[in-house]
């Protein structure tokens, strides 16, 4: 006959087993959850780094041609300027500009203009990447949304946009490769 003590002992041991088991499970989950944030805190860093910069091969771009690259979800206009465009950009009287910047402030090498292709008025993408596009009164880019004209250095010359097209941080990895961001 089983005494009430024996029943308590069996029940007590059963509870202990359950507690050990539960503790073991929590231990396992705990170990997993210690490792995970460490790993997951490293992965976004690598992803973010990859997304934060974009490399662009410039070698296929001929003089007078433009391409559009994507960087952080934004279009980046890269133009290999003609001698005439460079000259036009340099001879501007900077004191007359709404957002005064010399051409040298905006390029690392005269031939290459790199800038975010988003109008600084309300965010449209200006036209001027293709030869058949409208280039505005200053031979650069034209934003048809409200009529902003940008010159061959991407500076605002006419219309409502308050700022020049933004020049992102970038570097020449080689003569024909740039890394944006
Ligand atoms: S968004 Fe370009 S002129 Fe308004």
In tens, the pLDDT along 38-77 reads 444 444 455 555 568 999 999 999 999 999 999 999 999 9
**Whose Cα sits closest to atom 3 in ligand 1?**
146
Does residue 118 have its Cβ closer than 6 Å to ligand 1? no
Q: How far is the CA of 135 from the centre of ligand 1 (A)?
A: 14
Residue 24 has pLDDT above 60, yes or no: no
Residue 5 sits at the vertex; the CA angle it makes with 4 and 6, to the nearest 5 degrees, is: 90
Q: Which of 121, 135, 146, 149 is catalytic?
A: 146
Instruction: Output the CATH code of domain 54-180.
Output: 2.102.10.10
* Cβ atoms < 10 Å from Cβ of 125: 18
Contact between residue 68 and residue 117 where contact means Cβ atoms under 8 Å apart: yes
Is 121 among the catalytic positions? no
Minimum mean pLDDT range among 14-28, 51-65, 99-113, 127-141: 14-28
What pLDDT, on a 0 to 100 scale, did the predictor assign at position 116? 98
Q: What is the pLDDT of residues 120-178, one digit of tens each?
A: 999 999 999 999 999 999 999 999 999 999 999 999 999 999 999 999 999 999 999 99
pLDDT for 34: 38
Atom number, ligand 1, closest to the C-alpha of residue 119: 2
Q: Write down the pLDDT at residue 47.
A: 56
- Boundaries of every domain in the chain: 1-52, 54-180
All residues at 6 or more sequence positions from 169 whose CB lies less than 8 Å from its CB, including other chains: 180, 181
| Range in 14-18, 84-88, 143-147 the model is least confident about | 14-18
- Ligand 1 in contact with 122 (CB < 6 A)? yes
The contacts found for 166-174 with CB under 8 angstroms, 24 or more apart, are 166/115, 166/116, 166/118, 166/120, 167/106, 167/107, 167/114, 167/115, 167/116, 168/71, 168/76, 168/114, 168/115, 168/116, 170/108, 170/114, 171/108, 172/108, 172/109, 173/55
């Amino acid at each position: 006959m089983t005494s009430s003590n024996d029943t308590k002992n069996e029940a007590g041991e059963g509870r202990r087993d359950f507690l050990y088991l539960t503790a073991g499970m929590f231990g396992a989950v705990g170990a997993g959850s210690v490792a995970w944030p460490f790993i997951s805190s490293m992965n976004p860093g690598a992803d973010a780094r990859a997304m934060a910069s974009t490399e662009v091969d410039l070698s296929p771009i001929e003089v007078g041609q433009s391409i559009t690259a994507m960087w952080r979800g934004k279009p980046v206009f890269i133009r290999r300027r003609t001698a005439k465009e460079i000259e036009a950009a340099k001879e501007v009287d900077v004191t007359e500009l709404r957002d005064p910047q010399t051409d040298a402030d905006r390029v690392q090498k005269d031939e290459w203009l790199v800038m975010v292709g988003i109008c600084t008025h309300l965010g449209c993408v200006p036209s001027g990447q293709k030869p058949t596009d409208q280039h505005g009164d200053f031979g650069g880019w034209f934003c048809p949304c409200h009529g902003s004209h940008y010159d061959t250095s991407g500076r605002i010359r006419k219309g409502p946009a308050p700022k020049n097209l933004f020049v992102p941080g970038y570097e020449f990895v080689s003569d024909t490769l740039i890394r944006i961001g």
